[in-house]
């Protein structure tokens, strides 16, 4: 993965994802009390201005703007919209990255709320610095690996928080995010807590009534779900997870490995993180 160059913006089209907003009320209704409380705390940080009213600090507008062609698609997908009359409380740095896929190069759009990431009292390094905790090795008779497609873009930002996530298009138009920003440091935990874990039926997150059966193991990492166990148990729970996703308007990616293996499954994910500079 690398930062997009001006030439890339003209040659590689932005990844087109036009998905409905998730039914978050259903997901909240599935969470156990402790998880729901944690969710509310983290959502509170997302809606917190980067600087308190008594502070002399001021949100800084960056020099980067959204290319006109990208802005047109982002509007159509419902990811950005015209800024409301509320005074701007925070800015994002819009940029895109190029990823190499088996089908070719793909350009993904990211919004980076610099001031909020610097100021929010968010203690957890979530969750990218603790990959081994989220993706442990497993051994089982069968496994199913599911991927929630473009899951960040399916989480709606509350209207009262959108003035904290603004930027401009090339022509100077002021716009604001309407969906959860991929670049916010709390976003992975929000996604993992309120979407993926609830849909997967993770026992530590949802009420017992909706949790996966004891003989099925569930592992969740941001937008990915891994189901392991006997073939019959894993098959039944995979079907339930797919129903949960479909009923909540969550989309399972086309490339998800949904074929349950009948031979022993040994799984361990290895991911390498490399630092990437974000230009203003």
Strands 80-82 and 174-177: antiparallel
Cα dist from 216 to 96, 181, 257, 264, 265, whole Å: 38, 33, 17, 15, 14
pTM, rounded to two decimals:
0.75
Share of the chain above pLDDT 90, in %: 32
pLDDT for res 108: 83
- Whether 55 has a pLDDT exceeding 60, the answer reads no
Please give the residue that has the higher pLDDT: either 213 or 152: 213
Give me the mean pLDDT over the 87-100 stretch.
Answer: 89
Give me the mean pLDDT over the 204-233 stretch.
Answer: 92
Count of CB atoms situated within 10 Å of the CB of 143: 24
**DSSP 8-state class, residue 256:** -
Task: Pick the closest to residue 46 from 190, 151, 167 (CA basis).
Answer: 190
- Whether 279 has a pLDDT exceeding 90, the answer reads no
Give the pLDDT band (50/70/90) at residue 169.
Answer: very high
Please give the residue that has the higher pLDDT: either 174 or 47: 174
pLDDT for res 136: 67
State the alpha helices, DSSP H only, in 111-164.
114-119, 131-134
């Amino acid at each position: 993965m690398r930062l997009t160059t001006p030439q890339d913006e003209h040659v590689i089209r932005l990844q087109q994802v036009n998905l409905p907003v998730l039914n978050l009320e259903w997901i909240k209704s599935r969470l156990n009390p402790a998880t729901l409380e944690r969710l509310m705390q983290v959502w509170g940080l997302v809606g917190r201005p980067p600087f308190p009213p008594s502070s002399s600090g001021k949100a800084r507008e960056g020099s980067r703007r959204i290319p006109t062609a990208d802005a047109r698609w982002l509007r159509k997908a419902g990811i950005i919209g015209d800024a409301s009359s509320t005074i701007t409380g925070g800015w994002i740095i819009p940029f895109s990255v190029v990823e190499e896929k088996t089908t070719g190069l793909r350009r993904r759009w990211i919004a980076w709320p610099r001031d909020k990431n610097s100021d929010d009292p968010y203690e957890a390094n979530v969750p990218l610095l603790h990959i081994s905790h989220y993706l442990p090795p497993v051994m089982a008779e069968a496994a199913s690996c599911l991927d929630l497609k473009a899951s960040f873009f399916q989480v709606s930002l509350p209207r009262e928080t959108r003035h904290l996530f603004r930027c401009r298009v090339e022509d100077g138009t002021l716009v604001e995010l309407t969906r959860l920003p991929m670049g916010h440091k709390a976003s992975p935990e929000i996604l993992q807590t309120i979407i993926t874990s609830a849909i997967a039926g993770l026992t530590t997150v949802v009420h017992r009534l909706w949790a996966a059966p004891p003989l099925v193991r569930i592992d969740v990492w941001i937008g990915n779900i891994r189901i392991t166990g006997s073939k019959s148990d894993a098959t039944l729970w995979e079907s339930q997870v797919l129903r949960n996703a479909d009923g909540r308007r969550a989309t399972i990616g086309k490339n998800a490995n949904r074929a349950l293996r009948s031979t022993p499954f040994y799984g361990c994910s290895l991911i390498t993180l490399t630092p990437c500079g974000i230009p203003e």
